[in-house]
Amino acid sequence: MWDAIVLGLGGMGSAAAAHIAARGKKVLGLEQFTPAHDRGSSHGSSRIIRQAYFEDPAYVPLLLRAYELWHDLETQSDEPLYLRTGGLMVGPTDSVLVQGSLRSAREHGLDHELLSAADIARRFPATAPRDGEVAVFEKPAGILFPEACVRAHLKRATADGAELRFGTPVDAWRADEGSVEVTLVSGERCRAEHLVVCAGAWLPRLAADMELPLLVERNVMHWFQPTSHPELFGPDRLPVYILDRGQRFMLYGFPDVAKAGIKAAFHHSDQFTTPQELNRTISTAEIDKLRAALVQWLPDGGGKHLAAAVCMYANTPDLHFVIGRHPRHHNVIVAGGFSGHGFKFCAVAGELLAELAFDGTSSKPIYLFSPQRFKKERQPT
Ligand SMILES: Cc1cc2nc3c(=O)[nH]c(=O)nc-3n(C[C@H](O)[C@H](O)[C@H](O)COP(=O)(O)OP(=O)(O)OC[C@H]3O[C@@H](n4cnc5c(N)ncnc54)[C@H](O)[C@@H]3O)c2cc1C
């Protein structure tokens, strides 16, 4: 009998296992693939972390805590987890991105600058802002290295006594008043007082009875070599950026870290799928489309296409997360629906999940993430 079973040891589950184990609890972590694998949502070398959160100011207290926790974790890790580059949120003054970032920055007193197009071009010479564009620039924004973050959480969990099993797919689980029973595909059964489900794109199957309206979306990350002036694309000269030019999908990207090329991607794709049916083949048309958008922002950025990788978003209808208790099982906590912007929160989500399981409540505001909100929407008025 374990104190807690964590189902899925990707970004969120590795953090949950670490935080629960840090409380001295007996934790069993179950993962179908290998540590820090590339089959889910937490791979691809880099993730943006930022504070002036355009999505909603309610995320900011969680982000400030996430920064503290990533820093703590990094001090115990053998490899770097975070690189500060600064971050540019670029678009017309009235764009969702600029307005939302400013709102979060102002409501929470975050240090930021509002740059004109001329300021952007002068300070970051690889970029080509359009007339009338502005940018919210925040210095603490930067890059998290997702595989290293997952490894660091797994290492912390193990150091604090967690048992982590890889290559161990879970078939099903059921809960009663006093405990939860998890059945592995191998047929083995494991029991615990609490279950924390962090199954990413597989959550629709593993929490099917919650009827969460999750949609799995295919997203492709691309790496390009600059055509010239490579010195302008390093992390000392080019911040991470998000670009809102009124198109269907925002473009975001990273400087060239460790001469691996500059990485860029569209935020969302409308290509809905399942983990089983995910198309991992990347077409020339997709590469051309991304390059065409990229060179309008980084004119020398669209050289040789070096690599690409496919990843999955698990989207909710409002693109806010799902973190909370199962509506019928008080001993089951679910975390999912991170909608393509969850990685930066893994550290704080792990802490929240441990609190929800063992304290019964969370120390941070998480009302945006209630699993019940979708049910309410469906009720007649
Ligand atoms: C291309 C891309 C770019 C992104 N960029 C950013 C960004 O810049 N900044 C940011 O903050 N976020 C970003 N995100 C979002 C972020 O990466 C995700 O929100 C986050 O990684 C989700 O973590 P997770 O733990 O929910 O999923 P995962 O890391 O996929 O973990 C789920 C785990 O559950 C395991 N599992 C599932 N079913 C079973 C089973 N039956 N038995 C055992 N194990 C199981 C899976 O194998 C997997 O390891 C991006 C996502 C993508 C795809």
Which ligand 1 atom is nearest residue 14's CA? 25
Among 31, 42, 276, the mutation site with the greatest number of ligand 1 atoms within 8 A of its Cβ is 42
From the CA of 171, give the closest atom in ligand 1. Answer: 41
Residue 377 pLDDT level (bands cut at 50, 70, 90): low
User: Is the C-beta atom of 267 inside 6 A of ligand 1?
Assistant: no
Instruction: Please give the single-letter amino acid code of residue 267.
Output: H
**CB neighbour class for 290 (10 Å; exposed up to 12, middle 13-18, buried from 19):** buried
In the chain, the percentage of residues whose pLDDT exceeds 70 is 98
Q: How far apart are CA 7 and CA 16, in angstroms?
A: 10
Question: What 3-state class would DSSP assign to 181?
Answer: strand
pLDDT surpasses 70 at 97: yes
Tens digits of per-residue pLDDT, 277-328?
A: 999 999 999 999 999 999 999 999 999 999 999 999 999 999 999 999 999 9
Half-sphere exposure for 291 (CA within 13 Å, toward CB): 19
Q: Are β-strands 240-243 and 250-253 bridged in parallel, bridged antiparallel, or unpaired?
A: antiparallel
> With contact defined as beta carbons under 8 Å apart, do 60 and 153 qualify?
no
pLDDT at 329 over 70: yes
pLDDT at 141: 98
pTM to 2 decimals? 0.97
Q: Residue 48 burial by CB count (10 A; 0-12/13-18/19+): exposed, middle or buried? A: buried
Instruction: For ligand 1, say whether the CB of 144 is within 6 Å of any of its atoms.
Output: no
- Residue closest via CA to ligand 1's atom 45 equals 8
The rounded distance, in Å, linking the Cα atoms of 248 and 146 is: 27
**14 three-state secondary structure:** helix
- Which helix (H) or strand (E) is 61 found in, with range? helix 60-75
pLDDT above 70 for 378 = no
Residues ≥6 apart with Cβ < 8 Å to 37: 10, 43
114-119 average pLDDT score = 98
The amino acid occupying position 172 is A
pLDDT value at 379 more than 90: no
Q: Tokens in use for 237?
A: 């000269």
Residue where the block lists tokens 């970032």: 101
338 lines ligand 1 (CB under 6 A): yes
Q: What is the pLDDT of residue 237?
A: 98
125-174 pLDDT, tens digit each: 999 999 999 999 999 999 999 999 999 999 999 999 999 999 999 999 99
pLDDT-based confidence at 380, cuts 50/70/90?
Answer: low
Output the pLDDT for position 177. 87
Give the model confidence (pLDDT) of 212-271 as tens digits: 999 999 999 999 999 999 999 999 999 999 999 999 999 999 999 989 999 999 999 999
Ligand 1 atom nearest to CA at 169: 42
Q: State which ligand 1 atom lies nearest to the alpha carbon of 30.
A: 43
Mean local confidence (pLDDT), 90-107: 98
Beta carbons within 8 Å of 135's beta carbon, 6+ residues apart: 88, 89, 90, 91, 98, 114, 115, 119, 120, 129, 241
Strand partners, 340: none
69-84: pLDDT as tens digits: 999 999 999 999 999 9
Asked if 7 contacts 182 with a C-beta cutoff of 8 angstroms, the reply is yes
Q: How many CB atoms lie within 10 A of CB 294?
A: 20
Residue nearest to atom 48 of ligand 1 (CA): 10
Ligand 1 in contact with 219 (CB < 6 A)? yes
Q: Measured from the CB, is residue 13 less than 6 Å from ligand 1?
A: yes
